[in-house]
Amino acid sequence: MHIKEVNLWLVVIFCLSLFKGEGIWNHKQLNLQWRDYAVESISHLQLGLQNQGKITSMLNPLRIKANQLNSLEQQFSSQVKPKLYTTSKGIKVLLVSDNTMLESAFSFGVGCGYYQDPDNLAGLAHLMEHVVFLGSQENPNPVGWDEFLLKKGGASNAYTSADLTVFYVLSSPRELESVMSYFTNMFVNPVIDERSSVSEIDAVNQEHEKNIPNKVRVIIELAMYLAPKECPARKFGTGSKETLYINSKKNNINLKDALKEYHESCYTSDNVSIVIMGPQSNEQLAKIADNIDKLFTSSRKATKGISKITNTVNSRSVSRGAFKNQHSLAPSISSIFESSGSKKSNIGITSAGGITSKDGDSISKETEQNLDKNTSANIEIEVVRMPRGNSSPPFVVIYWDSVSESLSILKENAEWQMLKLIQYFFEDQSQNSIASELKKKNLATALEYFDNTSTQYSIYGLLFTAIDDSDETTSEIVKLTSAYMSSLIEQINSEDERWIQSFYKNYTNMANIKYEFDEERDTAGIVSQAAESLLIFPDEPEMALSAFVKPVSLNKDSGLSSAQMEALKKFVKHLEPSKIKVIKLSDSIDKSSESKSTFEPYKTEYSISKISVEDPSKTSDNTKVIESTNKIADLLTCVPEDLEIISFSRDKCPKYKRFENEIKERQIGNELQPCPILEEEGLSIFWKGPIHMVPTINLTLVQRLANKDISNNARIALLGKLHAQLQTSRMEYILSSFKLCGLEADINYSRGRFIIKVQSYSSNFEDIIKNLSNYLISESRLPTKAEFEGALSNLKSEILNLSNFMAYDIASEVAQSAYLSNYYSKLQLRDSLQKTEISYDEYLEKTKSVFLIGYFDALIVGNIGSEKAIKLGLNLIESLANKKISYSDSIHDGILDISGDIHIKTNNPISSDKNNAVVAHYLTPPVDLIDVSVYSSIGEILNSPFYDILRTEWQDGYVAFATTKYETPIISLIGAVQSAEKLSETLVCHLFSALEKVSKDVEEDLKEISKSEFEDKIRWFGLSKYSSQKLNSFIQYVEHYGKMIASHELCFEKNKLIENATQVFVSEPNVYIEKLNKLIKPSSSRKLVIVELIGNTNPGEKGNDGKLVSIANVDEPPTNEECKEILKSEMGKVTLMDAISLQLNSSGSSNGKLRASRNNNSKDETKYRIYGSDIQCNVSEDNASSASGKDSKEVKSMLSLFGRRLSSMGSYSQSKANISIESSIGNKKNSNSAGTNKRSSCNYSKL
């Protein structure tokens, strides 16, 4: 897959929410930009999608009736105008005019995926996807597309699935036609020569190499490889150097000719769909589409692909009901196999298997038939074992599959989300659920549902994090799963359909609510899903149109039709206990005498054996389980009813008490600003009403523990994470009935803080907070030993499991641990956990003495009044703490005062991961408002060219990025590169060299731009990026101010201040050059922490620094001799340190005292810099001068003007920044000193 975000240089950056999880860098949101390095607890099944451009599923249970197609205008919002047609050349086109959009988007779908790969060229479809982005006959420059988008503004990506290849692009509306024209030329006439056909194999191979350590991915790919021998799902869709390069050479296959043949067979007008969406009128969009159509040739017709598959699924009659495929109500743990828009071979887990197969590889039909005929009290289940390794928990996957009915199931699920019933039933956390039974019986700590539906093969299954890898535990999990599945099947086949109908009526009503108040439509996901639907369901265009339909007016309280009930009953026949298949990770495979096979793409062994499991229908114990399981109708009973938006004063803050003093109601300058509603010793509560007119409430509650208990203590960090696990378990249990009704809730521990986040529809919020207040751990509600042991098992699984991380993730964590206060990498926590076991008594003692004490900040936002917000906030705080402390006595975020550059070199701890990774963090001094604006802009400027050099030109690795991150009170510039092919020292050299090259290019460009042109562009950029007025959705608002609450930055006007500082001061391009050079060049004004992770190669195996083929007309990387000089210059004075202890390495040099080591029990009083409003919310005279180019007198005048602006906001003084803020937080004598460890100086009574 081609991963490329084009960041704009000095223009607006499109803030995309394309994916779940946060970028190539953050595991929760965007796969394109590193927003947050904090490692969070996430779904294992999401991990297969990281860094691979997953499109968020946009499915909805509602579907347009066929007889409504002639009156579609009634179903769309007034701003949305659709037009659907087929061109004379056979291209299926959907135009959607939406005058509310700020961007335009288009998607090209191709009706071929890896199912169409030749048997002897696994990964060819994926390679073709990459090659498309490398230029056209008209514009053959391999980085030309990226450079073009850089100038025009936009983002692009693509994915290859089993059946399809989909490309999507976002651009500014005024550039849509030129961007589409450029892309179409590449799409229709790509450059297919030796350079393009071979150079991208490195990228494909790197993509495969990064997937190898992910054990969950490998398990499920093996499951697909074990499909029946004639099934194309056995193909290996990602491809690798072995399948595409070595095998083609060995078999005398001309890869260039193979690509051309594939392109001619699949990339034809009759096998393509195009979806265009934007604020333009449909007449304007149609003109653009007509011009695009002219670029296609009509002489070629597809000879393979989805258009050649006979669609045996009949169109449903109107009486089937009205369901459509737009808006998913998936719970917080999502499947990597969502059936439309997120099932990707190279973005998810869809490719399976091998280049060749053996007779015994697939689970035979004969075996299945024998299992079906088994009439004994036991069922023989085949179990596939894979090596576990030392960095994975004992995963067990139980799954079912379907071949002949796969297309029908795909269609049913796309129309009305048939599989959601299965997912909701098994992911239920309430009493009598399978999850609660697993924990009660100490069998597994977690389970997740997944499915992957394609036209010719589908699997549905559950991933269990088992307590151990014994066959006894596996058998018990299988037995329990069989019993619960039998209960579900029995309910679905019952003559009384009220249970099913009740569930789907509630599901439909929740979909209507979610759709009505959905603020952020995923433009890329919508156009991609529509492009897919046009190809998969060519005779039912309403499937594609449904992505844009507002369903609120349709079929409220509608139930399932008889045909849908029939389809559901037919589907669950595939899920009978006798058809269960099992794959598990096990250490015993190495000791087993069973015959072993090799899963070639991943070079992993597996064995197949059998276990005997009791038939749930024929044993009394399991009959009792079946009778006690939850009923389908009970799964979704929390649908909110009263969602009326309350009224409140937008431009005023209510009166409130501040340390027993009553503050009067007052006007505020910015209606977005949160209002303090209670301040007393030990806590502050802030509030904002429903300014975004959505019936939702969000609570962000931060409990800061006492500094004396937390500072530099890895053991407490472990116990804190354990406490968060226990709280999370209780939260999931007590709130399980709200999970499917819009509830998002989470408790985590980070750097001495517990952060509780709760968001729900307003009608449920009070009950949710009351339940939490009455059930979370407190002095009177301490956890039992059984709860403790379950949470400890879960914690061990979370910390010891590294298979779902990438090498650069680990490297960046290690880097952060070297300079962030109270931050510990996973390697450090693993080390501490393995050295000393945590006892129940130790945990209870720390809970009473440490975790029930703290300082609290709370932010409550949304459809709730201030008085109720105080009541509910206080109730929850009082339930969590038996003692509140002052802010000055609590833990603070900060940056450790390291005195020199640090180099950490360590082995890659991820089993079987050959990847080397290098991550460099360049640290600034404490920053003021101008610094934040300039440095953040620099991050946007560097990322795209840095990626182009390392990824495209030098072919270093699949992962390459540069970005900046605000880490209170500094900013770090982060560069990273990861490769399984290049030596780690080569990657270090190339990272330094690429940053230097990009900075020189930026400097040259900035020198050529006129001052007036620079001012116009930088102000546009600054206003777009930093103005708090841009927080125009509830989600953006909560994220922005929630982060400020978490870091205790309570001067809420900071973004507005950055905007004003940019307007007043930034007019001199040289300030960017100056700041960039100071940051990346060795000097006393910045610090560098660089981590080098060495991959796990086989004995005697060495990295290969060569490229498969050189790319013409691009700069070559530094030679070995040049690299020696670069490393000497950049790292000649670094201090080599250990990754875990962070003590000086025995072979390292020291250029001065760095800091005390942080061992398991250390309570050293290490100095670090913390947030101070007098720095972060002001402008220093030096920065004002360099940014404006003005002399001292003019600068003072400008600072005076800026000060008056601050005074008009009522929040800040005109004091100048003092960048020497530094205190010993651990030193009690200094902890309350002015300007160091005090509360933010904002006086809210003056707002």
Shared-domain flag, residues 953 and 1082? yes
Q: For the segment 718-740, what is each residue's pLDDT rounded down to a tens digit?
A: 999 999 999 999 999 899 889 88
On the question of pLDDT at 885 being above 90, the answer is: yes
Alpha helices in 113-252 (DSSP H): 124-132, 144-152, 176-188, 194-211, 215-225, 241, 247-250
Q: Does one domain contain both 302 and 272?
A: yes
Pick 616 or 294 by higher pLDDT.
294
In a domain, 530, yes or no: no
Q: Using pLDDT thresholds of 50, 70 and 90, give the confidence band for residue 620.
A: low
pLDDT greater than 70 at residue 653: yes
Predicted confidence band at 670 (pLDDT cuts at 50, 70, 90)? confident
Q: Tell me how many domains the chain contains.
A: 4
In whole numbers, what is the pLDDT of the chain averaged over residues? 79
Which of 198-212, 757-771, 801-815 tops mean pLDDT?
Answer: 757-771
Task: Name 1146's Cβ contacts closer than 8 Å, sequence gap at least 6.
Answer: none
Report pLDDT for 1200: 84
Residue-wise pLDDT for 287-305, tens only, equals 999 999 999 987 788 888 8
pLDDT value at position 76? 58
Cα–Cα distance between 507 and 1185 in angstroms, integer?
Answer: 60
pLDDT value of position 839: 96
Q: Is the model more confident about 140 or about 81?
A: 140
Q: Kindly report the CA angle at 432 between 428 and 436, in degrees rounded to 5?
A: 65
Whether residue 224 lies inside any domain: the answer is yes
**Claim to verify: residue 1062 and residue 1041 sit in the same structural domain:** yes
Q: Do residues 144 and 74 lie in contact, with contact meaning Cβ atoms separated by under 8 Å? A: no
Residue 347 has pLDDT above 70, yes or no: no
Tell me whether residue 1137 is in a domain.
no
Residues 515 and 663 in one domain: no
C-alpha dihedral (1099, 1103, 1108, 1113), degrees to nearest 10: 180
Nearest alpha-carbon partner for 404 in 367, 365, 444: 365
User: Which DSSP helix (H) or strand (E) runs through 260?
Assistant: helix 255-266
Q: Which residues contact 325 (CB under 8 A, 6 or more apart)?
A: 59, 60, 63, 340, 414, 415, 417, 529, 533, 543, 546, 547
Same domain, 223 and 266: yes
Q: Is residue 1225 part of a domain?
A: no
* 330 band by pLDDT with thresholds 50, 70 and 90: very low
- Residue ending a domain, among 268, 284, 310, is 310
Looking at the structure, tell me whether residues 228 and 199 fall in a common domain: yes
According to the model, what pLDDT value does residue 616 have? 65
Q: Is the pLDDT of residue 547 over 80?
A: no
Alpha-carbon distance of 931 to 534, in angstroms, equals: 48
Q: Is the sign of the CA dihedral 278, 282, 286, 288 positive or negative?
A: negative
What gap in Å lies between CA 344 and CA 335, rounded to an integer?
Answer: 12
Distance CA 807, CA 1093 (A): 7
Residue 764 has pLDDT above 60, yes or no: yes
Higher per-residue pLDDT: 274 or 307:
274
Q: Is residue 201 located within the same domain as residue 236?
A: yes
Q: What is the CATH number of the domain that holds 1062?
A: 3.30.830.10
Identify whether 1051 is part of a domain. yes
Instruction: Give tens-digit pLDDT for 1094-1138.
Output: 998 765 555 555 566 555 556 789 999 999 999 999 988 899 999
What is the rounded average pLDDT of the residues 366-388? 68
Q: 129: Cβ–Cβ under 8 A, 6 or more apart, which residues?
A: 1, 2, 158, 159, 160, 165, 167
Q: Same domain, yes or no, for 302 and 427?
A: no
pLDDT at 784 over 90: yes
- 171: phi then psi, degrees, rounded to nearest 5: -150, 170
Looking at the fold, whether 878 and 906 belong to one and the same domain comes out as no
Residue-level pLDDT at 1060: 81
Domain boundary among 295, 310, 325: 310
Mean pLDDT across 1165-1181: 71
In this structure, are residues 419 and 59 in contact, taking their beta carbons and an 8 Å threshold? no
Q: Please tell me which of 273-282, 608-617, 647-656 the model is most confident about, judged by mean pLDDT.
A: 273-282
pLDDT higher than threshold 90 for residue 195: no
Whether residues 629 and 751 share a domain: the answer is no
Residue 531 in any domain: the answer is no
Average pLDDT over residues 222-245: 94
- The band of 593, judged by pLDDT with boundaries at 50, 70 and 90, is low
Q: Give me the pLDDT at residue 548, please.
A: 73
Residue 891 lies in a domain: no
Confidence of residue 397 (pLDDT cuts 50, 70, 90): very high
Q: Check residue 545 and give its pLDDT.
A: 81
What's the longest Cα–Cα distance across the chain?
Answer: 95
Span 1022-1065, pLDDT tens digits: 444 544 446 778 998 999 999 999 989 888 888 778 888 887 88
- The answer on pLDDT for 333 being more than 70 is no
What pLDDT score was predicted for residue 274?
Answer: 98
Residues 900 and 961 in one domain: yes
pLDDT tens profile 691-718? 999 999 999 999 999 999 987 788 999 9
Are β-strands 165-171 and 444-453 bridged in parallel, bridged antiparallel, or unpaired? unpaired
Per-residue pLDDT reduced to its tens digit, 429-481: 888 889 989 988 999 989 999 998 899 999 999 999 999 999 999 999 999 99
Of the candidates 774, 773, 775, 769, the one whose C-alpha atom is nearest the C-alpha of residue 862 is 769
Give 102-119 pLDDT, tens digit per residue.
Answer: 889 999 999 999 999 999
pLDDT at 17 over 70: no
Domain of residue 460: give its range: 378-520+538-634
**Confidence at residue 1102, expressed as pLDDT on a 0 to 100 scale:** 56
Using DSSP, state whether 468 is helix, strand or coil. Answer: coil
* Residue among 574, 124, 57, 94 at smallest CA distance from 344: 57
Rounded average pLDDT over 893-900: 88
Give the pair of three-digit tokens for residue 364: 């035979």
Task: Work out the pLDDT band at 377, boundaries 50, 70, 90.
Answer: low
Residue 216: inside a domain: yes
Is the model's pLDDT at 2 over the cut of 70? no
Q: Show which of 1111, 1131, 1151 is a domain's final residue.
A: 1131
Helix (H) / strand (E) element for 1033: namely none
Does one domain contain both 665 and 726?
yes
Whether 445 contacts 753, CB under 8 Å: no
pLDDT at 1215: 31
pLDDT at 22: 28
Whether residue 603 is predicted with pLDDT greater than 60 in this model: the reply is yes
Name the nearest CA neighbour of 380 among 626, 103, 581.
581
High-pLDDT (> 70) share of the chain, %: 77
